Structure 1
Amino acid sequence: MAEESVKNPLPACPATPNCVRTTENFKHGIEQVFASLIQLLEQQAHSFEVTDPKRIQIHAVYRIPVFGFKDDVDIILEEAEDGSSSILYIRSASRLGAYDLGVNKRRVKRLVSELHERL
């Protein structure tokens, strides 16, 4: 995963360790990345919705199985300037508490890794 980018349009994470925000580049077109991303969200997220189909902006909710806590995952997918690759901006944050035992970081890392594997 890339380091946090100043160009990332998602809100910055607070100083607490229960949030992660990153940017990832894909050498695939936006349609292909979007289709694979939707498949992954259908399998993993408790719920999700495409909040802005023109920009491809997605909000997903993940529920922690044992306690039922909810985490919010926000994604923006944009076409890169070259037109043949894509940029994924992702932010995952816990709704409650200051600590998440690394859940959000692992979730983002797994989602990005599985997306690369599918492509």
Structure 2
Amino acid sequence: IDEPVAVVIEKAKRLAEDRGWKVVSVDPAAGSLEATDTISLFRFKDDIVIRARAAENGAASIIDMRSVSRVGVHDIGVNAKRVRQFLSDLSGTTTAAS
């Protein structure tokens, strides 16, 4: 994403809050955000971690994200869908790197 790490993490925080995730920790300077999303009728919790690091040019960021269910073996694709949609929306809030 063509934005510095701290800016990307701040945007990720706003996007996470807009989704109703509970932001557990955020450190724009270190390029990290941790959150929890509660889903389904059974109130299952999924842990989400976003890390950003500066690209070689220093002006852009490389994003790594994971989402994992705390319980259960199968998530029926919920975590993968969450990651794809979040990264798509995060890229849409900035100019995506080519």
Which residue does 1:49 correspond to in 2?
24
Q: Following the alignment from structure 1 to structure 2, what is the Cα–Cα distance between the partners of residues 45 and 76?
A: 19
Q: Following the alignment from structure 2 to structure 1, what is the Cα–Cα distance between the partners of residues 24 and 51?
A: 12
Structure 2 residue runs without a partner (length 5+): none
- Identical counterparts, % of pairs: 33
* TM-score under structure 1 length normalisation: 0.71
How far residue 72 of structure 1 moved from its aligned partner, in angstroms, is: 0.3
Structure 1 residue runs without a partner (length 5+): 1-25
Q: Is 1:63 aligned with 2:38? A: yes
Which residue does 1:82 correspond to in 2?
57
Q: Please list the CA deviations of residues 55-85 of structure 1 after superposition, one character each: whole Å capped at 9, or x if unmatched.
A: 2222110010322100000111111121110
What is the root-mean-square deviation in Å for CA atoms of aligned residues?
Answer: 1.6
Aligned partner of residue 74 in structure 2, secondary structure? coil
Which residue does 2:2 correspond to in 1?
27
Which residue does 1:39 correspond to in 2?
14
Q: Please list the CA deviations of residues 3-38 of structure 1 after superposition, one character each: whole Å capped at 9, or x if unmatched.
A: xxxxxxxxxxxxxxxxxxxxxxx1222233222211
Instruction: Select between 69-78 and 26-35 the one with higher mean Cα deviation.
Output: 26-35
Which residue does 2:78 correspond to in 1?
103
Q: Following the alignment from structure 2 to structure 1, what is the Cα–Cα distance between the partners of residues 15 and 53?
A: 18
How far residue 53 of structure 1 moved from its aligned partner, in angstroms, is: 4.7
Q: Match for 1:88: what amino acid?
A: I
Higher relative contact order (CA 8 A, sep 6+): 1
Aligned length: 94
* TM-score under structure 2 length normalisation: 0.84
